[in-house]
Amino acid sequence: MDEQQATSTFGRVFRSSEPAYRASMLDANERLVWSGLLPVHDDKAAVTFARTMLERHAIEVWDRARFVTRLETPERRRAA
């Protein structure tokens, strides 16, 4: 293995220098409904990919512990 520390998540190995994007779907009460890794390598691609999943639940996009964005459903945006 390289000198860089690597972590493994669901069979995919991430080097500490590369991003590891995750999308988390949250219900109206902010409870986690689903969370999964995104097959992308930068913020723009992560947000674009997450938008394709946006239906009934808000989605938060994270790169490891770094918050990237939160996407709201059209209904929740109108209610705000």
pLDDT score for 75: 73
- In one letter, which amino acid is 20? A
The list of the chain residues with pLDDT below 50 reads: 1-3
- pLDDT confidence of residue 1: 46
Using CB atoms within 10 Å of the CB of residue 49, give its burial: 0 to 12 exposed, 13 to 18 middle, 19+ buried: middle
Q: Give dist(CA 28, CA 36) in Å, integer.
A: 19
